[in-house]
Chain A
Amino acid sequence: MNPSPARDQEGFLLDLQAWNEDLAAVIAQEVGVPLDAGHWELVYLIRSFYAEFDLSPSMRPLIKYAGQKLGPDKGKSLYFLSLFPGSPAKLLAKIAGLPKPENCL
């Protein structure tokens, strides 16, 4: 694996194809979020959102999507914040190798 695929100034991956789980773990370490099973589930959730809609989601649609795909317990901002403190959508996009959320306000 290429140890350092190109990233933008904020650390978002430039080439979506360069993503893999090892890289996700490296980025997660950088942002101080060790990944366990619950984290991985959301990493793959945001990747499937991107595949389905061609969008790097902001918080609200991502949470709604989680509610639909993973059940109401996980479709909550508190759940996301407990796993990815601060700005979950932004952290998740970065770890999942997606562009920065376009409506990250």
Chain B
Amino acid sequence: MTIKCLVIFRESPYSGLRAREGLEAVMAMAAYDQQPQLVFMAEGVWQLMAQQDELERKNHSKMLAALSLYGVDQLFVHTPSLIARGLSHAALLLPCEPLDNTTLSALIAQSHKVLSF
């Protein structure tokens, strides 16, 4: 049985380990044939921006690029979070469906589980 799981990313890619741990959780779910939906909002929208390659840490954007190979292809971005940071959809590294506050609430309401990282 597939559980509708929503994973919300709310932190920037290298501020701590949450972004990475969230991604690992998603990939573990994928290994069990689950297909979680991903939402990037608040500081989490920075995970979708380019130019992450100067760091010593593992490259988060490279890992995100592997999601389609893991069968995870339902990605959403919270548009008000982008706007608040002066970012636009055009700059996103991966195709994401836009969400406003209403559609975000609806998405959360229709999910069986919601994880926040």
Contact = CB atoms under 8 A, between A and B. Distances in A.
Interface of A: 52-55, 57-61, 64-65, 102-103, 105
Contacts, number: 43
Given A55-B63, A103-B24, A60 B70 contact: yes
Interface residues of B, number: 15
Nearest to A67: B69
27 contacts: A52-B62, A52-B65, A53-B62, A53-B65, A53-B69, A54-B58, A54-B59, A54-B62, A55-B27, A55-B62, A55-B63, A55-B66, A57-B66, A58-B27, A59-B31, A60-B31, A60-B70, A60-B71, A61-B30, A61-B66, A61-B69, A61-B70, A64-B69, A102-B27, A103-B31, A105-B28, A105-B32
**Interface majority SS (helix, strand, loop, mixed), chain B:** helix
Interface string B9-53: 000000000000000100110111000000000000000000000
Given A55-B27, A61-B69, 6 more contacts: A52-B62, A57-B66, A57-B69, A58-B27, A61-B66, A105-B31
